[in-house]
Chains A and B, each alone.
Chain A
Amino acid sequence: MMASSYNAKEEDGNPSSATVHGGAGTVKNKKPDNTAFKQQRLPAWQPILTAGTVLPAFFVIGLIFIPIGIGLFVTSNNIKEFEACLYSVYSKYSFSSLSTLQIDYTGVDLSSPCFNCSQNYIWNSTTPCTCSVPFSLDQPFESNVFMYYGLSNFYQNHRRYVKSRDDSQLNGDLSSLKNPSKECEPYRTSENKPIAPCGAIANSLFNDTLDLYYIDPNGSRTAIPLVKKGIAWWTDKHVKFRNPAGNNLTVVFQGTSKPVNWRKPVYELDPSDSDNNGFINEDFIVWMRTAALPTFRKLYRIIQKKPNNMSPTLPRGQYILDVTYNYPVRSFEGRKRMILSTISWMGGKNPFLGIAYITVGSVCFFLGIVLLIIHHKYGNRNNNADIPN
């Protein structure tokens, strides 16, 4: 005998006659609204998996995926990529049909041209070590050629690494320039001066210099023109990265210190071009966009197609890659590569996508057939509405 809740009834007078005799005479009746929503009768689309919908779906998906896959595969194959470690015999590196070239110049092997550089590495050494890697092209690169540097076993995606930057500072914020974010530790200050740009990412900026020379059949070297602008995202270049206000970068960065690993301060990254100097240096911007995986490549230079369509961008023949070897990777078993590649409508070489599409498409088609057979043999016996009541 418990009253589980106690509510105030209507004011005194005649409180319960209304409740006892229901709403016979009451004005407002409690009948719920007869709307489709409240009665859960909203018109609805109610799909069912039947042979009539599933089997065609499989066939259609198969028929769509296989051509896409073939298309992707062919496109990707046109951008054939060649992977090799270019450190031994010269002749080994002449390939017949080659539109992507990948050269590992880390210098692991004794016979590699860059072996000495990789061994004698000292940060801040004043005399840069250089090495030259020769190679040959049997097929010319016809269109624009993109030059990448690739790094392996380099953990740009490590949490402590990723967060070690100050986006405000890079966006030209003066107070952050003088007082960088704590995230930048231990590359926040050096010699009691704030580092600009601060943080581990900036500190580890890739600083090898790669140059490409064409060896004329007569033996003379012609430098290939490498375009260093247009390699960063437009939003990065124009919105995300900005130099602190001021006409003279040297003045602006006064009172800051260069990152400890750098040889020159940020305002000297490209003294020749004020639009590519300081924080908006494109090499720097590309580096600052951290890679998701420990093996990655980053765009370094673009070799533009010659204005006259007649001669290829990179004709067949002998080439030399000149490396100014600054960047140490051997300590952590990293690798460095130089990659030359052309590009198709779907980007760079990527056999995975084409193969995956073909596989999935075929499996779908096959599955469709199997399901069709199963359905025909066994499916119908249950189709009747033999529903026990």
Chain B
Amino acid sequence: HSFFPSCLLIEEERHVRANDRNYNDKFFYADNHIKTSKYNVFTFLPINLFEQFQRVANAYFLVLLILQLIPEISSLPWVTTTVPLVMVLVITAVKDATDDYFRYKSDQQVNNRQSQVLRGVLQNEKWMNVRVGDIIKLENNQFVAADILLLSSSEPYGLCYIETAELDGETNLKVRQALTVTSELGADILKLAEFNGEVICEAPNNKLDKFKGTLYWRGSKFPLDNEKMLLRGCVLRNTDWCFGMVIFAGLQTKLMQNCGRTTLKRTSIDKLMNTLVLWIFGFLVCMGVILAIGNTIWEQEVGRSFQVYLPWERPVSNNNAVFSGFLTFWSYIIILNTVVPISLYVSVEVIRLGHSYFINWDGKMYYGQKDTPAEARTTTLNEELGQVEFIFSDKTGTLTQNIMVFNKCSINGNTYGDVYDEFGHKVEVSERTACVDFSFNPLSDRKFTFHDSSLVEAIKMEEPSVQEFFRLLALCHTVMSEEKNEGDLLYQAQSPDEGALVSAARNFGFVFRSRTPETITLYEMGTAVTYQLLAILDFNNVRKRMSVIVRNPAGQTKLYCKGADTIIFDRLDPSNEDLMDTTSEHLNEFAGEGLRTLALAYKVLDRDFFEEWMTRLLLASTVMENREQRLADLYEEIETGLLLLGATAVEDKLQEGVPETIACLTLANIKIWVLTGDKLETAMNIGYSCNMLRDDMNEVFIISGHTAAEVQQQLRSAREHILGLSRVSNTADEEKTEMFSNDSVFEETIIAEYALIVNGHSLAHALEPELEQVLLETACLCKTVICCRVTPMQKAQVVELVKTNKMAVTLAIGDGANDVSMIRTAHIGVGISGQEGMQAVLASDYSFAQFRYLQRLLLVHGRWSYFRMCNFLFYFFYKNFAFTLVHFWFGFFCGFSAQTVYDQWFITLFNIVYTSLPVLAMGLFDQDVNEANSHRYPGLYRPGQLNLLFNKRQFFLCTLQGIVTSFLLFFVPYGAFSLGVRADGLHLSDQQSFAVTIATFYFICLFYCFCLRSCYCIGLDTYYWTAVNHLFVWGSLAVYFAILLAMQSDGLFSIFPSQFPYIGTARSCLAQWSVWLVILLTTAVCVLPGMAVRFLKTDLYPTLTDKVRRLQKASRKQGPREQNLRRVRRTSSRRSGYAFSHQQGYGELITSGKNMKVVHLHLAPSDKVRALCKQVRDGLAPTSEERAPF
């Protein structure tokens, strides 16, 4: 092999031979040492500096610094740029270094984990010493050290269970199965040490769910797929031990290959800021050019003759004036650089960081039950939270809790679940309603609550239909039980609906206790009854039902079936008609309350018929072709003539406060689209219960076409319907409606409320390039949009569609792995740290535990952040313009020579020390309207969406004000001092006095603006003065004077005479009456016009903010008022969906027995049926290997 590590070449295929280190070493595969840190002690400085100077701002200042080193150009000493630049670089470097240190520590911890490696004998090794080709042993609850091929495990069939929470966020267990040949190796160290199979497989990649390879061993080939791999990051569960062979290690593992950088999201303010900075550069160059031309002319006209006192540097040259102009241009670029202050970016970062901390610290976004505080995972998007126009929400786990609660039922024509008072009126169920006492049942689940005691009474009365009802619930399911201690039952259900039903049965005295592949053991009202499980007729999407066939101890064979009402009703025995009608009424009632329903039925099977059927089933299950269809036909055959038992109603519990939150966000003019993987019925159901769909809506359009043409037709007609009606309603604007298509103003005027519901197939067509515009237009005309059966990819596409076409800020909120794509795509991604794991949270920018916190995140934090950031930017640009442009005016009086007005130290410290803190305090703490009012008046959110507070117009205003202020700042002192003489007769207008006084004017004026917070110039003002603001403002003022006096003190001068030439200036200037009089005047002139304009504005055209502020002030004494958001209750009378998991059930796995920890081999071996059953089981077994049952 070549000398060079093969990783330098592109690895196309991987060859790994077990226990053959020499062979594997030839390929130079990565070892298991990982390094996510970027630097080490020596490389930190160069690499970090290199990275930092790749940022435009830093590079710009580097260029400035270089310019300043050229003596002919240098109008400012190099310190003025160096000090801020170094400070910025150091702060960033420290932050990078600490981040990297934590990464290093985490790497260390991972690298030093112990694992058992087979090196002849089993020995402990650190993770980083594990090599490709090693055989390692894992024990229960251990992390998998590398990507390994499962060889054998403690469980039968070489199965093992893993949890992949760290990989994909899903917390449910997954099964992996070793090849039969290798699983025979067992735990035999000798055999394992002799194992010399060679794996040839794909090169390292980041596909978590794909793996392709072949094992060559003992002359045979065995195909390998993902089901035989344990990936790094997984945790071994419920498996005592397993052995595996390392295929990918370290950085080449799939986990590490997935640790790519997430794309950096930037806010619109960021982009605007960059544009503005570019404009400012342009402005800077313009000013530089003007002043350079001025300089050329001056040198030509005046400077030439002034050479008596100030000779030209190159007196002979003819082009001296032009050359001087050229140099002056650069000099002015240096002087005026403070317009684009380097501290801008740092300050913005600091403010955002502060806002993120406020989100993290928010006690009102902390969810006590899960001990989950809100978390801002990205610190760069805060102000965008104040501009959101579209919210894309997942349903399950986001709007709903993904907790199903057995709420009501109808048994044999009677409903249970409602509570009535003594007068027979229905009582609203609340926290205080008395719960049913389940103490008669020692195995009951304490968390289960039910309010209608008549059902318990019925159970106690041993009513057969009620008993049968709960028996069915306890038998007909695919739940697994786990009993750690006696009576401490834990159910593992595939779908929460099933879990709810089985738990209900448990509490009502029909406790599902344990199961084996052949039996189910119940505790029926305290006595153990074991049923023989003869068959599971599993659920699938077409059947929409599941059945079990069991034999009770009395020898009766029964089929229990539960499923969607429509399906069950079709298969009922004709004798059930009356009951069916009553139940149907009840079902309608349940559905009207937004409950998910299932109908239950049973049938007693004739023994002979069943045995005959079973034989046919066995036959069908061994046939290779068309097996699924044959089985389905057989199932269909036996599930007829059922007897109706009743119906269950399960509440898909909405998260707390969801309808209120949605109502409030809608008032804030945010459009909420629900994108869910659920069925149409379920989605609509939730839509109604969240108040997004209402009966009083003008029309709910359902798009469910199967072809592009159909979809187009439906979308068109929906749109025409909406527009047509509106045209009637405002005929006055008839001509306007002609050009409605993209007119957002027109969209606003549509008063009628519409809803659009799109199902999965239609969405696929609607997202085609030809149709997406129609979809978007129609959808934007509707108040509510719900898309169902959406794949993760489509979620992202919908978000992308809105994001690119509507120029609006989008927010996606979700909790599961299927939401990751849309969370990544949207401007802002929010993860619900809920039950489905961490995946969404990891991809998100913000995370919290409850949907309702979204309201606070947007209306309070988002709004404040946006408001603060805008004010900050406005003020920041204003202050720098006012500061810097004084040089422009001064240019006309100093021969355009790029002489600075201020002391070099003032320029150096100005942005970093003097003015940063008050502005920062404003950017961090300002509140225009308090949080309670932010919630109460969602209309306050509007300015953010319209981007009113900081846009190009505002920027021009602030530039203009900056220019005016700088003009006043220069010319008022100019007028006052050009001939000014001090009270002791000495002249006042010397360079240094002028510098100090203008600087002081500027400074005091700036703070005056702060204090009066009314300079319209600032248009925004500090609204909110906390102690911190006071500290920073007065502190900065104090620091200014302290530094001023210190810099100009005798002591410093005597040490560095040439660095501090301003000695004594401040002392002698500020002792003058006239100086203070001018300060007062300048400040008044700068502040008053703005104050008048601002007053007029708030007085005559108050914004909502002004009104609320006034109200807030007036009501402060009255104390906080109650939130008056209407409680939204829904009244609807439509049919809801049925409760069922929409995945294939667990049935096969249960009957195959593979997932049973201890296989109980029970009695009754000679029974013919049992034998048949076993054959069926074995016949079905291969299918479960082909296809992942989970």
User: Measuring CB to CB, which residues of chain A are less than 8 angstroms from any residue of chain B?
Assistant: 1-9, 11-16, 19-20, 22-24, 26, 29-34, 38-40, 42-51, 54, 57-58, 61, 65, 68, 72, 81, 144, 146, 148, 153-162, 164, 166-168, 170-171, 173, 181-182, 186, 200, 203-204, 231-236, 239-240, 289-299, 302, 328, 331-333, 341, 343-350, 352-353, 356-357, 360, 363-364, 367, 371, 374-375, 378-379, 382-383, 385-389
Minimum Cβ distance to chain B for residue A380 (Å)? 9
- CB of B259 within 8 A of CB of A3, answer yes
- CB of A299 within 8 A of CB of B1058, answer no
Alpha-carbon distance A72/B1081, docked complex (angstroms): 12
State which of A61, A148, A234, A363 has its C-beta within 8 Å of the C-beta of B987. A148
Closest B residue to A292 by CB, please name it.
Answer: B994
Closest A residue to B978 by CB, please name it.
Answer: A293
Alpha-carbon distance A15/B75, docked complex (angstroms): 62
- CB of B989 within 8 A of CB of A292, answer yes
Residues of A within 8 A of B991 (CB): 156-157, 162, 289-292
Sampled A-B contacts (22; CB under 8 Å): A5-B259, A12-B142, A15-B141, A23-B370, A43-B1027, A46-B1109, A49-B1014, A61-B1084, A171-B1053, A204-B310, A235-B1050, A235-B1068, A236-B1064, A239-B1054, A240-B1053, A291-B991, A292-B977, A348-B980, A349-B979, A356-B972, A371-B1099, A389-B939
For residue B48, CB closer than 8 A to chain A, the reply is no
State which of A173, A346, A375 has its C-beta within 8 Å of the C-beta of B1077. A346
- CB of B1113 within 8 A of CB of A292, answer no
Alpha-carbon distance A112/B578, docked complex (angstroms): 130
- CB of B306 within 8 A of CB of A46, answer no
Given known A-B contacts A2-B206, A155-B310, A379 and B1100 have beta carbons under 8 A apart: yes
Residues of A within 8 A of B302 (CB): 153, 155, 332
Number of interface residues, chain B, beta carbon within 8 A: 141
For residue B136, CB closer than 8 A to chain A, the reply is no
State which of B255, B937, B992, B1107 has its C-beta within 8 Å of the C-beta of A6. B255
For residue B360, CB closer than 8 A to chain A, the reply is yes
Name which of B39-47, B164-172, B524-532, B1172-1180 contacts chain A. B164-172
For residue B1074, CB closer than 8 A to chain A, the reply is yes
Given known A-B contacts A72-B1077, A360-B1084, A40 and B925 have beta carbons under 8 A apart: yes
Minimum Cβ distance to chain A for residue B842 (Å)? 5
Given known A-B contacts A353-B976, A379-B1100, A200 and B113 have beta carbons under 8 A apart: no
Residues of A within 8 A of B255 (CB): 3, 6
State which of A11, A156, A385 has its C-beta within 8 Å of the C-beta of B1111. A385
Report the 10 A-B pairs with minimum CB-CB distance, sorted nearest first: A235-B1064, A348-B981, A23-B371, A292-B994, A38-B361, A159-B897, A42-B1026, A159-B899, A204-B309, A146-B985
- CB of A158 within 8 A of CB of B1074, answer no
Closest A residue to B1088 by CB, please name it.
Answer: A364
Given known A-B contacts A161-B310, A331-B305, A360 and B371 have beta carbons under 8 A apart: no
- CB of B1100 within 8 A of CB of A387, answer no
Minimum Cβ distance to chain B for residue A286 (Å)? 8
State which of A46, A144, A293 has its C-beta within 8 Å of the C-beta of B989. A293
Alpha-carbon distance A39/B609, docked complex (angstroms): 71
Closest A residue to B167 by CB, please name it.
Answer: A3
Alpha-carbon distance A177/B1069, docked complex (angstroms): 30
Minimum Cβ distance to chain B for residue A50 (Å)? 7
State which of A61, A162, A356 has its C-beta within 8 Å of the C-beta of B899. A162
Residues of B within 8 A of A382 (CB): 1099-1102, 1107
Given known A-B contacts A58-B1092, A158-B310, A292-B994, A38 and B976 have beta carbons under 8 A apart: no
State which of B163, B839, B1053 has its C-beta within 8 Å of the C-beta of A16. B163
Given known A-B contacts A4-B843, A155-B894, A235-B1068, A297 and B987 have beta carbons under 8 A apart: yes
For residue B372, CB closer than 8 A to chain A, the reply is yes
Closest A residue to B1095 by CB, please name it.
Answer: A54
Minimum Cβ distance to chain A for residue B477 (Å)? 23
For residue B208, CB closer than 8 A to chain A, the reply is yes
In addition to A160-B310, A341-B981, 6 A-B residue pairs with Cβ atoms within 8 Å of each other are: A6-B259, A31-B371, A49-B1091, A158-B894, A343-B983, A385-B1110
Alpha-carbon distance A32/B899, docked complex (angstroms): 53
Alpha-carbon distance A385/B1104, docked complex (angstroms): 10
Q: Which of B1087-1101 contact A (CB under 8 A)?
A: 1088, 1091-1092, 1094-1096, 1098-1101
Give the total number of A-B pairs whose CB atoms are below 8 A apart: 376
Q: Which of B1054-1075 contact A (CB under 8 A)?
A: 1054, 1057-1058, 1061, 1063-1064, 1067-1068, 1072-1074
Residues of B within 8 A of A154 (CB): 309
Residues of B within 8 A of A203 (CB): 309
Residues of B within 8 A of A348 (CB): 979-982, 985
Alpha-carbon distance A49/B1057, docked complex (angstroms): 49
Given known A-B contacts A345-B1073, A382-B1099, A332 and B208 have beta carbons under 8 A apart: no
Closest B residue to A377 by CB, please name it.
Answer: B1100
For residue B1108, CB closer than 8 A to chain A, the reply is yes
- CB of B1063 within 8 A of CB of A239, answer yes
For residue B202, CB closer than 8 A to chain A, the reply is no
Minimum Cβ distance to chain A for residue B117 (Å)? 15
Alpha-carbon distance A53/B1104, docked complex (angstroms): 20
Given known A-B contacts A43-B1026, A387-B1104, A33 and B259 have beta carbons under 8 A apart: no
Given known A-B contacts A1-B208, A48-B1109, A231 and B309 have beta carbons under 8 A apart: no
Minimum Cβ distance to chain B for residue A163 (Å)? 9
For residue B820, CB closer than 8 A to chain A, the reply is yes
Residues of A within 8 A of B166 (CB): 3, 6, 9
For residue B555, CB closer than 8 A to chain A, the reply is no
Minimum Cβ distance to chain B for residue A118 (Å)? 13
Residues of B within 8 A of A148 (CB): 981, 987
Alpha-carbon distance A49/B655, docked complex (angstroms): 42
- CB of B373 within 8 A of CB of A30, answer yes
- CB of A16 within 8 A of CB of B165, answer yes
State which of B309, B979, B981, B1098 has its C-beta within 8 Å of the C-beta of A343. B981
- CB of A2 within 8 A of CB of B820, answer yes
Q: Which of B286-309 contact A (CB under 8 A)?
A: 302-303, 305-306, 308-309
Closest B residue to A6 by CB, please name it.
Answer: B259
Residues of B within 8 A of A39 (CB): 361-364
Alpha-carbon distance A264/B677, docked complex (angstroms): 98
Alpha-carbon distance A81/B979, docked complex (angstroms): 11
- CB of A346 within 8 A of CB of B990, answer no
Q: Which of B341-367 contact A (CB under 8 A)?
A: 358, 360-364, 366
For residue B1085, CB closer than 8 A to chain A, the reply is yes
Alpha-carbon distance A328/B839, docked complex (angstroms): 84
- CB of B1025 within 8 A of CB of A46, answer yes
Alpha-carbon distance A242/B363, docked complex (angstroms): 65
Residues of A within 8 A of B216 (CB): none
Residues of B within 8 A of A341 (CB): 981
Minimum Cβ distance to chain A for residue B370 (Å)? 4
Residues of B within 8 A of A385 (CB): 1107, 1110-1111
Alpha-carbon distance A57/B893, docked complex (angstroms): 36
- CB of B990 within 8 A of CB of A289, answer yes
For residue B898, CB closer than 8 A to chain A, the reply is yes
Residues of B within 8 A of A6 (CB): 36, 166, 233, 255-256, 259
For residue B487, CB closer than 8 A to chain A, the reply is no
Closest B residue to A375 by CB, please name it.
Answer: B1099
Minimum Cβ distance to chain A for residue B612 (Å)? 47
- CB of B1081 within 8 A of CB of A353, answer yes
For residue B1028, CB closer than 8 A to chain A, the reply is yes
Alpha-carbon distance A292/B996, docked complex (angstroms): 11
- CB of A48 within 8 A of CB of B975, answer no
For residue B311, CB closer than 8 A to chain A, the reply is yes
Minimum Cβ distance to chain A for residue B667 (Å)? 8
Given known A-B contacts A31-B368, A299-B985, A8 and B925 have beta carbons under 8 A apart: no
Alpha-carbon distance A2/B303, docked complex (angstroms): 68
Residues of B within 8 A of A349 (CB): 979, 981
For residue B749, CB closer than 8 A to chain A, the reply is no
- CB of B989 within 8 A of CB of A291, answer yes
- CB of A15 within 8 A of CB of B993, answer no
- CB of B371 within 8 A of CB of A24, answer yes
